[in-house]
C-alpha cells in the first residue's frame, strides 16, 4: 500500500470507530507520528491531507520544521529533556508529554521568550508501569495546581500511552480511566487559570480504534501510516 492508501485506511477506521461510539469523526485529530521517517515520506502523507505530525526527538523535530510551511502543526510526543525545550519552543503546536514541574518551568520560560503560550497535555501513566513516563493518576490534580497560571503554557488535556498488547480490548480500561480522570480533574480544577482539559491524546497503531470509542480527541499513529520503523 502507498502512504496515501494507508492514510485513507486509517481515516476510515477512525470514522468507523467514532460511528460505533456515536461520535463525530471530525472531533478526532489524526497525528501522523513521523519519528525516524524521512521528509520525503512525510511529504506523501502531507499530499494525502495530513497536517499534524508527531515527533519524539527534539533535534529531529527542529531539523524537520523548515521542510514544511505554517500550515503544518507539530506535536511533540516523546520524553523531553529540559535542556532541549529550546529546540521546540517556537514551532511546537502541542506538547503531549508534560510530566514534571522542572519541565513546566522550562517550557514557561522558553515559550515566554518566544512571546507565545505553548499548549500542553499532561502525560499520565494510567497503568502504573514502572519504567514508563507520565504522572501517576493521583498526582495529576496537584500538578495542575502547581502549573496553573504559568504564563508561557496552558494545559489543554491529558495524554497516555497504553501498555503494549496484541488485544486492544485489554487496554480499553486504560483509556476509560484517562477519560474519567480528565473529567474529575476538570471538576477539581475549575477556575484555575490556564487549565482547560478538553483533549484526550490516546491511541496508537495497535489500539486507536478502542481509544476513539473511549473518547480520544487526538490519536497518534506511526506504523499504520509509514510502515514499521527501521
Ligand atoms: C511512536 C509513538 C507513537 C506511534 O506509535 P505507532 O505504534 O507507530 O503508531 C505514538 N505515541 C508515542 C508517544 C510514540 O512514541
Report the C-alpha gap between 170 and 196 in whole angstroms. 29
| pLDDT confidence of residue 44 | 98
Q: Which atom of ligand 1 is nearest to the CA of 206?
A: 7
Q: Which atom of ligand 1 is nearest to the CA of 221?
A: 9
| pLDDT confidence of residue 230 | 79
Q: Which atom of ligand 1 is nearest to the CA of 161?
A: 13
**Is the Cα torsion angle 45, 198, 77, 213 positive or negative in sign?**
negative
Exposed / middle / buried, residue 132 (Cβ in 10 Å: 0-12, 13-18, 19+): middle
Q: In a mutational test of the pocket of ligand 1, which residue from 220, 225, 228 has the highest number of ligand atoms less than 8 Å from its CB?
A: 220
Using the structure block, give the residue that is written with the C-alpha cell 496537584: 142
Q: Is 115 left (phi over 0), alpha (psi -120 to 50) or beta?
A: left
Residue numbers of the chain with a pLDDT score lower than 70 = none
- Give the residue among 125, 136, 94, 129 at the shortest CA–CA distance from 111: 94
| pLDDT confidence of residue 186 | 98
For each of the domains in the chain, give its residue range(s) and CATH number, in order of start.
3-226 (3.20.20.10)
pTM: 0.98
Phi, psi of 199 (to 5 degrees): -115, 145
Beta strands in the chain (DSSP E): 29-33, 52-55, 73-76, 92-98, 118-123, 153-159, 195-201, 218-221
Amino acid at each position: 500500500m502507498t502512504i496515501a492508501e494507508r492514510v485513507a485506511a486509517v481515516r476510515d477506521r477512525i470514522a468507523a470507530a467514532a460511528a460505533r461510539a456515536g461520535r463525530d469523526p471530525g472531533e478526532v485529530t489524526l497525528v501522523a507520528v513521523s519519528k525516524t521517517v524521512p521528509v520525503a515520506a512525510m511529504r506523501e502523507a502531507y499530499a494525502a491531507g495530513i497536517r499534524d505530525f508527531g515527533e519524539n526527538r527534539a533535534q529531529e523535530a527542529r531539523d524537520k520544521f523548515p521542510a514544511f510551511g505554517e500550515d503544518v502543526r507539530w506535536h511533540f510526543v516523546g520524553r523531553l529533556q529540559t535542556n532541549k525545550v529550546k529546540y521546540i519552543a517556537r514551532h511546537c503546536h502541542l506538547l503531549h508529554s508534560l510530566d514534571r514541574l522542572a519541565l513546566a518551568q522550562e517550557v514557561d520560560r522558553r515559550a515566554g521568550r518566544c512571546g507565545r503560550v505553548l499548549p500542553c497535555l499532561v502525560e499520565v501513566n494510567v497503568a502504573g508501569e514502572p519504567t514508563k513516563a507520565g504522572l501517576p493518576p493521583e498526582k495529576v490534580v496537584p500538578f495542575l495546581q502547581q502549573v496553573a497560571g504559568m504564563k508561557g503554557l496552558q494545559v489543554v488535556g491529558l495524554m497516555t500511552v497504553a501498555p503494549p498488547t496484541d488485544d486492544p480490548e485489554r487496554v480499553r480500561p486504560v483509556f476509560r480511566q484517562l477519560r474519567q480522570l480528565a473529567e474529575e480533574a476538570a471538576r477539581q480544577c475549575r477556575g484555575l487559570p490556564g487549565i482547560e482539559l478538553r483533549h484526550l491524546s490516546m491511541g496508537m497503531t495497535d489500539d486507536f480504534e478502542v481509544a476513539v470509542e473511549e473518547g480520544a480527541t487526538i490519536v497518534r499513529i506511526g506504523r499504520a501510516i509509514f510502515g514499521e520503523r527501521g
